[in-house]
Amino acid sequence: MMDYVTDQLNGFGIRFPKLFPLTSKGALMEKQTPGSFKHSFLPNSGIMEFQGQFDSFIENDLTGLAIESAQAAVKRTEELLRDVITASRQDEKAKRKALETLSHESQAISELLSVIKGDAEKQRLKKR
């Protein structure tokens, strides 16, 4: 059974899984409620070894994984914030450039209107 489960897990890309053969639900019940059975399942069930390894995983490995995950999340957040700041600066530059362009165009239009207005005055004076 252990080989079969290991092969199946390997098929899903899980290498070197920690497997624990547990022989009985009775061992779990006995662990949770001592003295619940006449025959003791606990010593030979493998549940004590599993419990020790599982507790070690929770206290050590899982904590490390959580810390690594949190550090990766902080790094992703920093990168995202840098990207947002860069984009906002680029937007500010684009706004300034557009404002400059509009200012030049406005000035050119004002000059053109002055010329047209002057020509219109000349035309009107000529007609008199």
**Interval 20-51: pLDDT, tens:** 777 667 667 767 776 665 556 556 677 778 88
pLDDT digits 0-9 by tens, 83-126: 888 888 888 888 888 889 999 999 999 888 888 887 777 777 77
Conformation bin of residue 24: beta by default, left when phi > 0, alpha when psi is -120 to 50: beta
Q: Where are the domains of the chain?
A: 70-128
Higher pLDDT among residues 59 and 105, named by residue: 105
12-26, 29-43, 53-67: which range is least confident on average?
Answer: 29-43
C-alpha 88/C-alpha 80 separation (Å) is 12
Handedness of CA 65, 71, 73, 76 (dihedral sign): negative
Coil, strand or helix at 97: helix
Q: Which two tokens stand for residue 128?
A: 């008199």
Helix axes 47-56 and 25-32, enclosed angle (nearest 10): 70
pLDDT of residue 50: 82
27-31, 63-67, 71-75, 111-115: which range is least confident on average?
Answer: 27-31
pLDDT at 77 over 90: yes
pLDDT of residue 127: 66
pLDDT of residue 71: 93
pLDDT of residue 39: 58
